């Protein structure tokens, strides 16, 4: 997002610029700060500006544009910027257009904060009077006299920009006499209408999907809750099986022991009975043989 805030001194440009910086994560580019930073950094453009300022001259537009060009190439200006204090004249606006065109960038919006000059003067007079009553020091540039001069300078130099940007359909005018938060909301609505910022559709989607997600989570929770119940059945089943085995076990063991004992008894009985049977058989055989001999003798 690349925007310009226009408005006379005391219109609230500085306050709104800070709020926009916080809300959209963009940077505020002040020509004064940029000039001082370029001079301190010793850039080619900064050194040129330093030489001009040292001789008491005004920094020409091409030098200021060169400093802006270097500044908007920096990483923190990638998401966008607000130009503060530039352009002040139509030639500066034209130079800025050329610079952005060269960089394949576009100006998204020019927001004019329109205020009542008489009301601004009254505000300054009231503030100065209150500061003097409290014994506070009044800044030399914060008096009704200085403000009157600055307003005259704004009308002569900067007001033509309103017509310039209006012709290019970039200008949006907002009532700067509203409360600060109302002005902020009005700027946001205008930026949305111009397509400079995207509406937060994801927030609406999340709100819409919320109940469905909640229901899904609830269903999952119920399903998970059932699982422990199923698990508790398993130990019960195992216990039942164990109990059954415990009952059947001794019975099975008893049967096994009984069979073993029976086989042992039969074996013992057979062993005991075997000699008797053998003796009986021998006796019976001998008796039979003796009978046969007696029979043979009788025949002779």
**Residue 199: partners with Cβ closer than 8 Å, 6 or more residues away:** 192
Query: Annotated catalytic residue: which of 50, 114, 123, 150?
Result: 150
Query: Annotated catalytic residue: which of 139, 200, 263, 283?
Result: 139
150 catalytic? Reply is yes
Residue-wise over 279-292: b if at least 16 C-beta within 10 A, else e? eeeeeeeeeeeeee
Query: Annotated catalytic residue: which of 50, 114, 123, 127?
Result: 127
Q: Which residues are annotated as a binding site for AMP?
A: 31, 36, 57-59, 85-88, 92, 139, 150
Straight-line distance from the first to the last Cα atom of the chain, in angstroms, rounded to the nearest whole number: 153
132 catalytic? Reply is no
127 catalytic? Reply is yes
The number of residues in the chain equals 300
Query: Annotated catalytic residue: which of 13, 48, 71, 170?
Result: 13
Angle of helix 90-102 versus helix 61-72 axis, rounded to 10? 40
Residue-wise over 155-166: b if at least 16 C-beta within 10 A, else e? eeebeebbebbe
Which amino acids are annotated catalytic?
13, 88, 127, 139, 150
């Amino acid at each position: 997002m690349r925007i310009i805030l226009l408005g006379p001194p005391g219109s609230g440009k500085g306050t709104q610029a800070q709020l926009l910086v916080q809300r959209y994560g963009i940077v505020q580019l002040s020509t004064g700060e940029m000039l001082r930073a370029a001079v301190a950094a010793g850039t080619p453009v900064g050194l040129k500006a330093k030489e001009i300022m040292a001789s008491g001259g005004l920094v020409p537009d091409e030098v200021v544009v060169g400093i802006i060009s270097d500044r908007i190439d920096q990483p923190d200006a990638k998401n966008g910027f607000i130009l503060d204090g530039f352009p002040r004249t139509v030639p500066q606006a034209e130079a800025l257009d050329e610079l952005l065109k060269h960089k394949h960038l576009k100006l998204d919006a020019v927001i004019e904060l329109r205020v009542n000059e008489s009301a601004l003067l009254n505000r300054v007079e009231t503030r100065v009077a209150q500061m003097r009553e409290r014994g506070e020091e009044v800044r030399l540039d914060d008096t009704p006299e200085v403000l009157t001069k600055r307003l005259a300078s704004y009308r002569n130099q900067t007001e033509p920009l309103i017509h310039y940007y209006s012709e290019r359909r970039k200008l949006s005018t907002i009532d700067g006499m509203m409360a600060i938060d109302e002005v902020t909301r009005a700027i946001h609505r205008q930026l949305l209408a111009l397509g400079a910022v995207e509406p937060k559709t994801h927030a609406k989607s999340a709100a819409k999907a919320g109940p469905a997600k909640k229901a899904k989570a609830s269903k999952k929770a119920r399903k998970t809750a059932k699982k422990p119940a199923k698990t508790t059945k398993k130990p019960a089943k195992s216990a039942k099986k164990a109990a059954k085995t415990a009952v059947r076990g001794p019975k099975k063991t008893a049967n096994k022991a009984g069979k073993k004992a029976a086989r042992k008894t039969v074996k013992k009985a057979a062993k005991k009975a075997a000699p008797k049977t053998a003796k009986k058989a021998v006796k019976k055989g001998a008796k039979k043989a003796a009978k046969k001999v007696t029979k043979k003798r009788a025949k002779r």
